[in-house]
Amino acid sequence: MDQAGDRAKRGARQVAGAAEQASQSRSFEAVARFGFAANGLLHVLIGALALQLALGKSGEADQTGAVAQLAARPGGAVLLWAGFIGAAALALWQVAEAVFGGRRFRDRDRLKYRLKSAGLAVVYAAVAGTFGVYALGGRSSSRESSQDASAALMQAPGGTVLLFLVGAGIVAAGAYFIFRGVRRKFLEDLRSLPAGRAGQAVTWSGTAGYIGKGLALAVLGILFAVAAIRHDPARATGLDGALKGLREQPYGDAALIVVAVGLICYGLYMAARARYAKM
């Protein structure tokens, strides 16, 4: 029995070692880096759609709206499949980091790093899922998905409290993005910066991008919290609803333009991160 257990442990270690080695291969890293670029393209498109909203035009300024725009373009299917592969590879790389990464840190910092990697794996898996749905010819709506999920959650025991906590968590994530933008902590994710004005452009796009995305997340989180407080899942409308709600506030058009430019800058930074990220 002990011998069988030892063989199982050795087999598990071999599998884990092979998985870690595969995640560190240059070819896998190259594909995963493209996931940053795909995510950056989505944010540029979302920012452009938000600008259209600020100028009085219609559109769906969220992830599904951006992917739908890609799908409608010539060669869109190729872009969708490329985005799916890149985002999926990046999600898998984050899973590997959640399991094996952070060894250079002490115990507490290692745990934080791995939890962060696990969260990012979920984010990039969702991005890959959206690319995949449209690549296969399907359609989806972030607004409807958010409302349906919120309604289902509120029907569960303690669901209203959980929905409020989700909103508070999104607001906290937004505050964290703003903090990273103001303090330029995002530079820690890069192995280097290009020289001269190119490096300055990466720094400024990252600063504006993290602040802009943080503001968008904060507004989104507030909507979820309000939906919980008022027991109205229809208020949890996703990013598109959050941006449209922002436009309805005093000076909303100006605020929406600021957020839109920030999202575009975040997308440009992610494109640079595809090349300069630590991996």
63 vs 43, 67, 130, CA distance in Å? 8, 6, 8
Q: Which residues of 46-65 are buried (b: 16+ CB within 10 A; e: fewer)?
A: bbbbbbebbeeeebbbbbbb
pLDDT on residue 271: 95
pLDDT tens digits along 233-258: 777 777 878 888 888 888 888 999 99
pLDDT on residue 142: 67
Domain ranges of the chain: 2-276
In sequence order, what are the residues at sequence separation of 6 or more whose Cβ sits closer than 8 angstroms to the Cβ of residue 18?
Answer: none
pLDDT on residue 252: 82
Q: What is the residue whose two structure tokens read 């599904």?
A: 64
pLDDT on residue 24: 66
pLDDT tens digits along 213-224: 999 999 889 988
pTM for the whole structure: 0.84
Contact call for residues 17 and 263 (beta carbons, < 8 A): no
In the chain, the percentage of residues whose pLDDT exceeds 70 is: 89
Q: What is the rounded (10 degree) CA torsion for 112, 191, 261, 140?
A: -60
Question: What do you get for the CA distance between the two ends of the chain, in Å?
Answer: 41
Dist CA 131 CA 48 (whole Å): 19
pLDDT tens digits along 114-141: 888 899 999 999 999 989 988 888 877 6
| Banded model confidence at residue 19, pLDDT cuts 50, 70, 90 | low
